[in-house]
Amino acid sequence: LFSLQDEVAIVTGGAQGLGREMSLGLAEAGAHVVIADLDINTAQRTASEIQALGRESLALRVDVTSKEQVEQMVSQSLSRFGKIDILITSAGIGQWRKAEEMSEEDWKRVIDVNLTGTFLCCQAVGREMIKRKKGSIITISSMSGLIANTPQPQSHYNASKGGVIMLTKSLASEWVKYNVRVNTIAPGYMETKLVAELLKSYPDYARIWKELTPMGRLGRPEEIKGPCVFLASAASSYVTGSVLVMDGGYTI
Ligand code: NAD
């Protein structure tokens, strides 16, 4: 039911953090994985980890905000593997800024990477999936797309992730007739580099977050593998347009 034997996946932001874990999870389930990331050195390291699992992997340097680079990512993946069955859009950035002090540049950068980048990847890969009438797309939103999680100020990030949720539902609705499913995973606080960087300036937040989380802890990055393999595989064949929240109960 959960097998992805010989399926081909592209994971943006797949070099590290949640993207790396999802790439490894897909490979463990049998998929070959294209790691598309700004950071090519780390992407190559993750690709080697996948090859060590006995699957094929290709590392590509891609900036998801560039339509041209995203289209090249699709053509390079197709010339190597001949098809794309799964897309995961994990490339994303986070930043804390008070709304009243935020520069337009900060606003645009976060929206550009998190929302426009997700759209460009879904559009370019979606076109190929529509042709084959087969595909599973998993976007990565956040519980911050569902709630304005006090105390940290991040209106641009929250807006981008709320946008990813509505983008996911819209694509699911448009592409259901082509047998392309589109779902989103909305993680809570996960112990990745992105979060570690943010916590450097606000060490108290880790304690506050744990207190606010019914499970009493942050998420371990590898805990995203299960939701990812579920949504990628036939195990979720009747699931589209859904928001799979994995937040230790934070938003209950
Ligand atoms: P991370 O910083 O560890 O990894 C993000 C990856 O994306 C990096 O490898 C980075 O090089 C890549 N990237 C950044 N900008 C890019 C661009 N323009 N083009 C291509 N690649 C780019 O972050 P993470 O914690 O693994 O987060 C992954 C996703 O999960 C993000 O979308 C993030 O918003 C979301 N998320 C994370 C958490 C969390 O607590 N860690 C919670 C909710 C949602």
Residue-level pLDDT, tens digit, the chain, 252 residues: 999 999 999 999 999 999 999 999 999 999 999 999 999 999 999 999 999 999 999 999 999 999 999 999 999 999 999 999 999 999 999 999 999 999 999 999 999 999 999 999 999 999 999 999 999 999 999 999 999 987 889 999 999 999 999 999 999 999 999 999 999 999 999 999 888 888 888 888 889 999 999 999 999 999 999 999 999 999 999 999 999 999 999 999
Look up the pTM and report it: 0.98
Q: Which two tokens stand for residue 95?
A: 């930043």
C-beta of residue 69 within 8 angstroms of C-beta of residue 62: yes
Calculate how far, in angstroms, residue 12's C-alpha sits from the geometric centre of ligand 1. Answer: 9
* Architecture in CATH for domain 8-246: 3-Layer(aba) Sandwich (3.40)
Spell out the alpha helix ranges (H) of the chain. Answer: 17-28, 40-52, 67-81, 104-111, 117-132, 155-175, 193-201, 204-212, 225-232
- Pick the closest to residue 114 from 60, 184, 65 (CA basis): 65
Q: Specify burial of residue 196 (Cβ count, 10 A radius: 0-12, 13-18, 19+).
A: exposed
Atom 31 in ligand 1: residue holding the nearest Cα:
92
pLDDT score at 201? 82
Indicate the pairing of strand 57-61 with strand 86-89.
unpaired
Using DSSP's 3-state secondary structure scheme, residue 53 falls into coil
ipTM of the complex: 0.99
| Residues within a 6 A CB radius of ligand 1 | 12-13, 15-19, 37-39, 62-65, 90-94, 113, 117, 140, 142, 187, 189-190, 192-195
Position in ligand 1 atom list of the atom nearest CA 218: 40
- Pick the closest to residue 2 from 28, 41, 29 (CA basis): 29
pLDDT score at 151? 81
Beta bridge partners of 11: 35, 88
Beta bridge partners of 58: 34
Hey, which residues are catalytic here?
Answer: 157
| CA-CA-CA-CA torsion sign (200, 201, 207, 209) | negative
Domain parsing of the chain, residue ranges: 8-246
Position in ligand 1 atom list of the atom nearest CA 63: 19
Atom 18 in ligand 1: residue holding the nearest Cα:
63
pLDDT score at 202? 84
C-beta of residue 66 within 8 angstroms of C-beta of residue 12: no
Q: To which residue do tokens 């289209």 refer?
A: 71
